[in-house]
Amino acid sequence: MSMRVNLLEDYLVDILLDVAAMGVNHIEREGISHSHPARFTLIGTMNPEEGSLRPQLLDRFALSVEVCGERNVSARCEVLQRRLDYERDPQSFCARYREEDEALAGRVRQARSLLPQLRYTEPLLELIARLGIELEVDGHRSDIMLLKAAFGYRSSRRSYGAQCRACLYGGRIGAAPPTETLTILKSVTLQLKIFVSCVSACSKSV
């Protein structure tokens, strides 16, 4: 995981891209020569106002989430209180939420076990392809990740009636101005809702 991933030095970005593409990490430093297999998932945070990502690196991030500050007074107070509690006694703070964390981990394991039971159909693949074309996404990695993300979402919610608001972003949107990009994204909102419904309809009951 990298904080401010958009501010990484170019040589570090080049190393990440090489290792991600080849699946092997080569170390050459001060008389040391070593290679080992490397499979990893890139996770990073960034402030768009500080600069954008290189297209090659952006292509490696299949999903993105926009994080905003709390605008609710009680919620902001809770954030502040939890931070103070953690600084006062980290061990007690972690113990307070251990049961909740373990329950979440259990749900993740269960969702993974359900993945092999999910199925897709040709209409679902065609919908993913249309979304990629309409968003002018470069490459095809986003299509694969969109399908995998939908399956992950579906396996984590056993009820067909579950509703969601998903932000699925893959690859690099074509070089359209921000206003045009926003218009494109809004134009496929309905298709994204249909997409989630299609996943439920096309997947085997679990």
Taking a C-beta distance cutoff of 8 angstroms, is the pair 9, 2 a contact?
A: no
Q: Which of 88, 109, 141, 158 is catalytic?
A: 141
Q: How far apart are CA 195 and CA 135, in angstroms?
A: 15
Taking a C-beta distance cutoff of 8 angstroms, is the pair 46, 53 a contact?
A: yes
Element (H, E) at 37: strand 32-37
Using only the alpha carbons of the chain, give its radius of gyration: 20
Tokens found for residue 8: 């990484």
Residue 39 appears among annotated catalytic residues: no
Q: Say how many CA atoms lie within 13 Å of 36 toward its Cβ.
A: 8
Active site residues: 141
